[in-house]
Structure 1
Amino acid sequence: MRLVKLIANLGYGSRREVQAMFREGRITDPSGEVLYADDKVGHADVYVDGEPLDPPQGIALMLHKPVGVTCSTKDAGRLVYDLLPRRFALRDPLLSSVGRLDRDTSGLLLFTDDGGLLHRIISPKASVAKVYEATLASDLRGDEAALFASGTLMLESEKTPLAPAELEVVDARHARLTLTEGRYHQVRRMFAAVGNHVEQLHRASVGALTLGTLSEGEWRLLDAEDLACVFAKPSQAT
């Protein structure tokens, strides 16, 4: 793949813009030696404005999503892509969120440009566990854990019952809920079904992958070990 096309596909600009970057001497090798568009060099040997070229297709990253940010590329207001380098939203293929967190939910959000990985994570067959921490408007009744674990709870407008989910009571108005599916606004609707309202919601982990030391609004690339954690049980987190 020619360097111009490679760099453009990674979101650094249109092909015309990337060609201009070459003319301006902004594309170099690790030592700072200026590269030319027809040079034949490896991906790791290409720097843009003194920084290594972003990883090629097949990347995955996680973001600590704050409340008030929307999982979209076009909606009005602040978007999750505003928290990432602008070029990440322009990559080809697109860097997509793996599922969504609604505007009022914070926590761990995954992104990838690998369609196979995305579908493997969200596939019902994978049963990837997501752990949510919920702050409730009213005290828990006491029967929620048994109901959520029963596999019989039907949500309004749904045609099939929910898969069993594990509820851990933290205190009267705080609970930790582990799901293996991802229906629309599922956590909020589950608590609404038992007469309660979720005031605050936070996704703490996906599989055994946690946010670690990431602060709100921060992100980092994932490596093979991180991705293995996604498919591990939450109890295996360290």
Structure 2
Amino acid sequence: RVYYLLHKPRGFITTASDPEGRPTVLDLLQGVRERIFPVGRLDWNSEGLLLLTNDGDLAYRLTHPANHVPKTYRVKVKGLVGPAALEAVRRGLFLDGRRSLPAEIRRISAQSNSWLEVTLYEGQKNQIRRTFERLGHPVLKLRRIAIGPLTDRTLRPGEFRGLTEEEVRRLKEPR
């Protein structure tokens, strides 16, 4: 089994191949010979950490909603996010007819726009973008900075590295 951590840049699709010919995250993993796949998704306009592997059991564990694996994002949104909006995210709000799980959120800075750190415990499609759009604060930038225990501030967009045995062990630990 192999495990890679990629800093996905904006402008790449999170899939193994694309019928429209757009660049995929696998295009960035030059030299990797094994057949691997992305675990979860980051949309075209988002960047940040993405795990790629050929370990289907681990991928299932990390993406199944019942496991509540935390994923942390640094988010820049339009405008000043007030206490009521922060509390709505903490409580969870209705998206597509169902309430999202409560999330952790903290304001990092706020001037004309707000920088936030958001930790989700589920992975609804475009959840952060849809949440802040609904609250009147469209997302301007979105970067995933952690997947469970995995972080890496040294990876630049487009760079990847193999996981250490310790990182793989920590990902496989029951929560």
* Other-structure match for 1:161: 99
Q: How does 1:6-155 map to 2 (within 5 A)?
A: 58-72=1-15, 73-74=17-18, 75-85=20-30, 88=33, 91=34, 94-151=35-92, 153-155=93-95
Contact 2:89–2:103 (CA under 8 A) maintained in structure 1? yes
Q: Quote the Cα distance in structure 1 between the aligned partners of 2:21 and 2:84.
A: 40
* AA matched with 2:22: G
* AA matched with 2:10: V
Q: Tell me how far 1:201 sits from its aligned partner.
A: 0.4
Q: Structure 1 unaligned runs (5+)?
A: 1-57, 233-238
* Other-structure match for 2:116: 175
Q: Which runs of 4+ in 1 moved over 4 A?
A: none
Q: 1:183 to 1:135 in 2, by over 3 A?
A: same
Give deviations 1:38-77, integer Å, cap 9, x for gaps.
Answer: xxxxxxxxxxxxxxxxxxxx11111011111111212422
Q: 1:118 to 1:82 in 2, by over 3 A?
A: same
Q: Tell me how far 1:85 sits from its aligned partner.
A: 2.2
RMSD: 1.7
Contact 1:71–1:101 (CA under 8 A) maintained in structure 2? yes
Q: Quote the Cα distance in structure 1 between the aligned partners of 2:68 and 2:40.
A: 14
Give deviations 1:190-211, integer Å, cap 9, x for gaps.
Answer: 1011111001100001112112
Give deviations 1:108-137, integer Å, cap 9, x for gaps.
Answer: 000111111100111122211000011112
Give deviations 1:67-118, integer Å, cap 9, x for gaps.
Answer: 1111121242222111112654xx4xx4110011011101000011111110
Q: 1:146 to 1:228 in 2, by over 3 A?
A: farther
Q: Structure 2 unaligned runs (5+)?
A: none
TM-score, reference length from structure 1: 0.66
Q: Percent identity of the aligned residues? A: 33
* Other-structure match for 1:186: 127
Q: Quote the Cα distance in structure 2 between the aligned partners of 1:193 and 1:231.
A: 35
TM-score, reference length from structure 2: 0.89
Contact 1:70–1:80 (CA under 8 A) maintained in structure 2? yes
Contact 1:135–1:200 (CA under 8 A) maintained in structure 2? yes
* Other-structure match for 2:158: 217
Q: Quote the Cα distance in structure 1 between the aligned partners of 2:160 and 2:28.
A: 8
